Structure 1
Amino acid sequence: MGEPPLRHGCDDHWSWDRRDCSHEVRLYGPFLQVAHFHPNWSSGTAGVRGTRVLNHGRYYWELRVSHRVFGTSMMFGVGTQHARLHVDAFKNLLGEDEHGWGLSHKGLLWHGGRWTHYTRPFQENESTTIGILFDGIAGTLTYYKDGACLGVAFRGLNEVREPLYPIVCSTAAKTEMTLITTKRDFVNLQDRCRAIILKYVRTRSDLQLLKLPKSIKEYLSETLTDTVQIFKPCNEYVHIV
């Protein structure tokens, strides 16, 4: 299987966006890492966008997909703010137009309303782990399944001028996709140094104890996530500090 992507990078910190998802998506977990689709029954296709802007960097994330793998389309990939996140129809939503690039559980790649064969269909009703490597420098998107690289799926993403975000969507009722890994490459030496410091400084209160200039503390705090959130349905949440 080889080395995992971005093994020498650092942990990234992003989640599913409670303000940018279908009303048929429920978000759970301390940091919105669990997306639950169609909690009662399904009458269409629902999606959710991630909070991470991907352009110009290298990012890798993994999704644990529940054993409820079935239906018309479960999709994983990237898209712009113009990619639709809900439609009252069963369809391959991510990649229906030029605003999305997605892989369906049927093993098909979708972009611009067209599909191509990419890999074998996923085994239905078996949980699986999907890895996605976005390389904004080379402009490629590569998928992994249960640790095995499936090869480059899309090229030319470095030419996209609009912000790109992680997106998942599903037509299947009571499906869950959980973010279990989020990694990124270092931007520069300063970024690498920050990652080392934050291995030992985990909270903002700890950071304030350091005798450092205010500007450096602000830079260090940009990637801290010491706020706990318990979420109800999309767009409704309880905030606990």
Structure 2
Amino acid sequence: MVHHHTDLMSLMLQGCDDYWAWNKKDKSHEVKLTGTRQQTAHFHPKWSNGTAGVRGTRCLNYGTHYWEVRVSQRLFGTSMMFGVGTKHARLHVDAFVNLVGEDEQSWGISHKGTAWHNGKGRNFTKPFHENEATTVGILFDWSKGTLSYFKDGEPLGVAFSGLNRVNQELYPIVCSTAAKTEMTLGRRRRMYHNLQDRCRAAIVSKLKEEKQIDSLPLPNRMRTFLKDTLR
């Protein structure tokens, strides 16, 4: 347990803030995105007759990433899930299922404390208290191939390993079976890829909004490079 906490601490101290969001082009029709830069996913706005998911915009491969998902007090139902998946992982099904981890395309844990991959579930942690706001932290470490979880700041340990052997792009993914449930992205951090990336993070951290990049006296290619971190 301890070393996951150490990994997270080093990411907090040495990494940089990340700015990805939920992907408005890559979601179930039963997910409505709201809030600043699509950071809140609202599942089944009217009623629910199935399972709805959404992918994040950040490709996780080759890096170390940490992100938090804040679940509103409406935490209940068959399955609310948090994990990672490829572009082939389904984001909607007209049935109440554990969608993240239903096949070999995704890996996730549910609020019932079960870890799912390839259609198989196993007990991973204690079930979350229902109808209680909860923050789920997810740490993806490509070099170790691990996906670790935290609940309200407490480490739950490694749920999956061997993810660095996956030869497709992996993205954050969440899903819910329950009506009018909400998940909001909280803190997002990642490790620098190289010195150029570190310089970019220093510049972006000083800017209030994306359009300020356009006024910087830089070549277009450098402007594009700066904007890439905000997607």
TM over 0.5: yes
1:99-152 alpha-carbon deviations (Å, 9 max, x no partner): 110100000000011011110000011010000001111110000000011001
Quick one: which amino acid aligns to residue 204 of structure 2? L
Name the SS for the 1:31 alignment partner. Answer: helix
Query: Please, which of 107, 111, 125 is the counterpart of residue 113 of structure 2?
Result: 107
Partner of 1:151: 157
Alignment partners' CA distance in 2, 1:170 and 1:121 = 15
After TM superposition, give the deviation of residue 201 of structure 1 in Å.
3.4
Alpha carbons of structure 1 residues 92 and 207: separation in structure 2 relative to 1, 3 Å: closer
Name the SS for the 1:90 alignment partner. Answer: coil
Partner of 2:96: 90
In 2, are the aligned partners of 1:202 and 1:224 still within 8 Å (CA)? no
Partner of 2:135: 129
In 1, are the aligned partners of 2:80 and 2:111 still within 8 Å (CA)? yes
Q: 5+ residue gaps in structure 2?
A: none
1:52-95 alpha-carbon deviations (Å, 9 max, x no partner): 11111111100110111111101000001111111111111110
Alpha carbons of structure 1 residues 204 and 178: separation in structure 2 relative to 1, 3 Å: closer
Name the SS for the 1:198 alignment partner. Answer: helix
Quick one: which amino acid aligns to residue 136 of structure 1? W
Alignment partners' CA distance in 2, 1:115 and 1:204 = 42
Residues 1-241 of structure 1: pairs in structure 2 closer than 5 A: 4-5=8-9, 6-7=11-12, 8-203=14-209, 206-224=212-230
Q: Which segments of structure 1 move beyond 3 Å, counting only runs of 4 or more?
A: 1-5, 201-218
1:167-221 alpha-carbon deviations (Å, 9 max, x no partner): 1001111100000111111001111122112222344554455444444344333
Quick one: which amino acid aligns to residue 168 of structure 1? V
Alignment partners' CA distance in 2, 1:208 and 1:27 = 27
Alpha carbons of structure 1 residues 104 and 194: separation in structure 2 relative to 1, 3 Å: same
Query: Please, what is the CA RMSD of the aligned residues?
Result: 1.8
Alignment partners' CA distance in 1, 2:91 and 2:67 = 20
- TM-score normalised per structure 2: 0.91
Q: Higher helix proportion, which one?
A: 2
Alignment partners' CA distance in 1, 2:174 and 2:79 = 11
In 2, are the aligned partners of 1:79 and 1:101 still within 8 Å (CA)? yes
Name the SS for the 1:192 alignment partner. Answer: helix
Aligned residues: 225
Alpha carbons of structure 1 residues 58 and 43: separation in structure 2 relative to 1, 3 Å: same
Quick one: which amino acid aligns to residue 35 of structure 1? A
Name the SS for the 2:164 alignment partner. Answer: helix
Percent identical:
61
- TM-score normalised per structure 1: 0.87
Name the SS for the 1:195 alignment partner. Answer: helix
